[in-house]
Amino acid sequence: MMNLTWKIVPHIKLLDCEKKEIAELKNMHWSYGIDSQMNWMNDNIKDFDLHLMGSNEKQKLVAYMTIVRLSVSFDGGKEDALGVGGVCVNKNIEHRGYGRCLVQEANNFISQEGLKGLLLCKDGLVDFYKKCGWQNVVFSEAYVADKPFSYRIMAYPNLIGCQSVLIDRNF
Whether the Cβ atoms of residue 19 and residue 38 lie closer than 8 Å to each other: yes
161: domain CATH number?
A: 3.40.630.30
Domain that holds residue 100: 5-167
Each residue's pLDDT tens digit, 82-139: 999 999 999 999 899 999 999 999 999 999 999 999 999 999 999 999 999 999 999 9
> Percent of the chain scored above 90 by pLDDT?
92
pLDDT of 1 above 80: no
**pLDDT, mean over the chain:** 95
What DSSP string describes 74-94? Answer: ETTEEEEEEEEEEEEE-GGGT
Each residue's pLDDT tens digit, 143-159: 999 999 999 999 999 87
Count H helices and E strands in the chain, helices first: 4, 10
Report the C-alpha gap between 122 and 150 in whole angstroms. Answer: 9
Instruction: Name the domain count of the chain.
Output: 1
Whether the Cβ atoms of residue 81 and residue 106 lie closer than 8 Å to each other: no
